[in-house]
Structure 1
Amino acid sequence: MRRYDLDWLRVIVFGLLIFYHVGMFFVAPDWEWHIKNNITYEWIKYPMLFLNQWRLPILFVISGMGTSYALSKRTAIQFAFERTKKLLLPLIFGMLVIVPPQVYLEKFSKGMIEGSYFDFWPSHAFVGTYPVGNLSWHHLWFIPYLLLFSLVLIPVFIFLRNNPNNFILRTTAKISSTRFGLYWFIVPLYLIEAFVEPFFKETHALVGDWFVLINSITLFFFGFLLISVKETFWKTVEANRKTYIKCGIIGFTLLMLITTVFEDSYVRHFTEALIKVFSFWSWILTLFGYASKYLNKPSKILVYCNEAVYPFYILHQTITVILGYYLMNSQSNSFLKFSIMSIGTFLLSWMIYEFLIRRWFLIRPLFGLHNTKKISEPEFLHQSSRSVL
């Protein structure tokens, strides 16, 4: 069954990513980012912490759900080939063309390099790996992780698809049928948060990034499981969405209280880990519940946005960094800068997508889009259900 609410959630969450990265330009210096405004603010980290707790986890869950659609009518080899084409090609193109301006402006603004951009690219842009060198995937780190998870879990997903009455799916259906049964999913998330996170700093470098790898592949797998039990999951989250949002509010409030009042200790760590996973899982269930209630309906706007979201994701941070570079030392007030960067990122991303990517058939595959001259609405809706993001 088509789930339009998943498409809406994907579009909304990636839209929030633009505001989040603009916020990184203004937040206090202890939140490291590529460039910073001449005036930063401590208080911005609180709304960003709220977004940060569930923003990436829900994307991995949604991606796992999308994988179920993509694999439903494909062999393992067909799925692996399509997923590699749609993820690896945009990643390589992004690392060669989209990301280098971010690296250049960051290092140029800090006095680490000299000369024009074309002195930097291509002669120095691919020498060494960032941050010591210059080659990086920056914000595109989500793509190689998603590709890895998709390929590694193919045997498991094929088994689950071909054996719908297996123990794992029967258990998932059972715990998904009750209001608080869905909270059993936080048990492995808590163990990862409590016993893996302290030993592995989040790097997004893939190699050695064990906490992010284990945590993210678990969420990705959960997404596949939840979509596989079909209406059992959706009926539960929709019916109990008000309970979940209350749990989310309580969880995030307690999390902020613990992190700001109590000093670091073993007791605080294990307590914080439990409340953290309880909080973000509650918000994920909340979002699924409200989306199921109000967003599970077709829309021409959704058709357009669902195709545009992948190119927007690839483009947006480079545009944000470029705008930020020219505004960082301006004496304009921060609200004006925030508005220019947010609106400018959306507008420029849309212009590049609409007038270049969407219409140029040789460019479309570089941004993960089908290379077809014309897609009718019903056909596109069918294709978008297999979105890689």
Structure 2
Amino acid sequence: MKASTTQRHYGMDWLRIGAFVLLIFYHIGINFTPWGYTTPTRGVVPWAEIPLLATSAWRLGLLFAISGYSSAALLAREKSDGAFLRSRLVRLGVPLLFALIVIVPPQPYAGLVHGGYTQSYLYYFVHDAFTFQDIRGEYVPRPMHMWFVIYLLTYTLVLAAALKLPLRVRQAAGQVAERVLAGPWLLPAGIAIIFAVRLFPGNWTDSHEFFRDPVAHVHYCLLFFFGIMLRRSEKLRLAIAAQWKLALALGVGAFALVAADAIRYPGNVPTPGPLLVPLHFAKAVQCWGMIVALFGIADRFWNRDNRWRAMLAEAVFPFYIIHQTAEVCFGYWLRDKGLTALPEFLALMMVTFAACWAFYLGGRELRWLRPLIGLSPRRNRAAPSPPAADLAPVSG
């Protein structure tokens, strides 16, 4: 890869921006599938799950890998391991608490109202929202989409604990990982590891319940540390640069198998037991192939600056915080308006992105609100711009 460890890799910014745009499309698209969601649409579009399956195997893993890369960049820039941990706890923990208390509660409330709940939002917020109980089939409180930040904070704590290990132990672990992945075994070894994790008993939960999600923790935490390794290993970067085209071909080919399974067993129709292992293998190939390919593409084609990049990179975390609440609340209001699928989808897209932009553009102008939505304190306008060094602080 072109960028050294002392340069800002703009491709990683673009990759992160693109990954979160795909995430919003995915969350809106789920409304039109039979998988079930907080805001079910008026009708199901039979083929809607196919484009979603094109990203579902790798989109979250990619985000954790990008977050690991960014964490390694920040760790290299901080004065100490403790300063890095404090920075992460503030930049992730403060917006998490703000979102859980202020931004997330309207989502379960919208579901309760749709199910017959008659109390006002103020009554719900004061009396029911934080009672840790089931109300008309809706358990409150729930982290909803902020589960990602909770998991990321957890893996950051794991990283902080790993930094306390003796240097020789960390160096030996890094050398073993580099020997396995930074060379001809990059693709087969990565696929084998993800496939093995997918075969663990229990799988991971769609509800992202922290204490019931051990398999997901293994999967996501490994990819988080893969991102750290990518930031630090020139050999791994070169291996990805040499193999991303093959990885892309494998990822696309594996998706064809996943899509064929979805066509044969659509929606909530279970895949027969004898086909589950091959399906898991196809998803492992798709996951690893696309992650490696996208890192390679980001380096080959996207490692360049643009006047929009800095603003879009800064906007990602505020977009993430608000997007699902905007979509869910508007979706419940919209679903009984008699629209067909395409107008409903377009309306959800326009309103969700408009709400995201309003939240970000308004929030960045208020000094007291900036830390609550994941932005750094406003710099002195008269101060010179810092050099483009490492990837900007990210949350995932």
Aligned position for 2:361: 354
**Unmatched segments (≥5 aa) in structure 1:** none
Pick closer, same or farther for the CA change 1:116–1:196 going to 2, 3 Å: same
- Which whole-Å deviations, capped at 9, do the CAs of 1:345-381 have from their partners, x for residues lacking one? 11221122112x1010100111121112446784384
1:82 aligns with 2:87: yes
Within a 5 Å distance, the mapping from 1:272-291 to structure 2 comes to: 272-291=279-298
167-176 or 80-89, which deviates more: 167-176
Q: Percent identity?
A: 27
Q: Find the aligned partners of 1:225 and 1:85 in 2 and give their Cα distance.
A: 24
1:322 aligns with 2:329: yes
- SS of 1:66's equivalent in the other structure is helix
User: Normalized against structure 1, the TM-score is what?
Assistant: 0.90
Aligned position for 1:194: 199
**Unmatched segments (≥5 aa) in structure 2:** 1-6
Q: Find the aligned partners of 2:291 and 2:327 in 1 and give their Cα distance.
A: 27
Aligned position for 1:235: 238
- SS of 1:332's equivalent in the other structure is coil
Q: Find the aligned partners of 1:125 and 1:55 in 2 and give their Cα distance.
A: 30
Residue pair 1:172, 1:229 contacting (<8 A) in 2 also: no
Aligned position for 1:106: 111
1:216 aligns with 2:220: yes
Q: Find the aligned partners of 2:327 and 2:335 in 1 and give their Cα distance.
A: 11
Q: Could you tell me how far 1:267 is from its partner in structure 2? A: 4.1
AA at the equivalent of 1:48: L
Within a 5 Å distance, the mapping from 1:362-377 to structure 2 comes to: 362-374=368-380
Pick closer, same or farther for the CA change 1:258–1:314 going to 2, 3 Å: same
Within a 5 Å distance, the mapping from 1:22-171 to structure 2 comes to: 22-28=28-34, 31-74=35-78, 75-111=80-116, 113-129=117-133, 132-157=138-163, 166-171=171-176
AA at the equivalent of 1:297: R
Q: Could you tell me how far 1:13 is from its partner in structure 2? A: 0.7
Residue 292 of structure 1 is aligned with which of 268, 289, 299? 299
- Which whole-Å deviations, capped at 9, do the CAs of 1:301-352 have from their partners, x for residues lacking one? 1100111100000000111112212210112232111111112211221122
Residue 14 of structure 2 is aligned with which of 8, 17, 27? 8
AA at the equivalent of 1:99: V
AA at the equivalent of 1:196: P
Aligned position for 1:254: 257
Residue pair 1:175, 1:182 contacting (<8 A) in 2 also: no
Residue pair 1:202, 1:212 contacting (<8 A) in 2 also: no
Residue 211 of structure 2 is aligned with which of 207, 212, 226? 207
- SS of 2:139's equivalent in the other structure is coil
Residue pair 1:178, 1:236 contacting (<8 A) in 2 also: yes
AA at the equivalent of 1:66: S
Residue pair 1:99, 1:138 contacting (<8 A) in 2 also: yes
Aligned position for 1:184: 189
Q: Find the aligned partners of 1:165 and 1:116 in 2 and give their Cα distance.
A: 54
Q: Find the aligned partners of 2:169 and 2:315 in 1 and give their Cα distance.
A: 34
- SS of 1:195's equivalent in the other structure is coil
- Which whole-Å deviations, capped at 9, do the CAs of 1:107-145 have from their partners, x for residues lacking one? 11122x113222322322112156643211101100110
Q: Could you tell me how far 1:299 is from its partner in structure 2? A: 1.9
Pick closer, same or farther for the CA change 1:201–1:386 going to 2, 3 Å: closer
Q: Could you tell me how far 1:34 is from its partner in structure 2? A: 0.8
Q: Find the aligned partners of 1:154 and 1:274 in 2 and give their Cα distance.
A: 32
Q: Could you tell me how far 1:261 is from its partner in structure 2? A: 4.9
Relative contact order, CA 8 A, sep 6+: which one is greater? 2
- Which whole-Å deviations, capped at 9, do the CAs of 1:6-55 have from their partners, x for residues lacking one? 11111111111111111122222xx1211111112221011111111111
- SS of 1:204's equivalent in the other structure is coil
59-68 or 119-128, which deviates more: 119-128
336-345 or 253-262, which deviates more: 253-262
- SS of 2:127's equivalent in the other structure is coil
Aligned position for 1:334: 341
Pick closer, same or farther for the CA change 1:194–1:386 going to 2, 3 Å: same
- Which whole-Å deviations, capped at 9, do the CAs of 1:142-176 have from their partners, x for residues lacking one? 0110001101222324659x569933333444444
User: Normalized against structure 2, the TM-score is what?
Assistant: 0.89
Residue pair 1:303, 1:381 contacting (<8 A) in 2 also: no
Aligned position for 2:3: none
- Which whole-Å deviations, capped at 9, do the CAs of 1:65-88 have from their partners, x for residues lacking one? 111111113322212211111111
Q: Find the aligned partners of 2:385 and 2:202 in 1 and give their Cα distance.
A: 44
Q: Find the aligned partners of 1:37 and 1:260 in 2 and give their Cα distance.
A: 21
Residue pair 1:303, 1:380 contacting (<8 A) in 2 also: no
- SS of 1:133's equivalent in the other structure is strand
Please tell me the root mean square deviation across aligned C-alpha atoms, in Å.
Answer: 2.4
Q: Could you tell me how far 1:270 is from its partner in structure 2? A: 2.6
Pick closer, same or farther for the CA change 1:78–1:320 going to 2, 3 Å: same
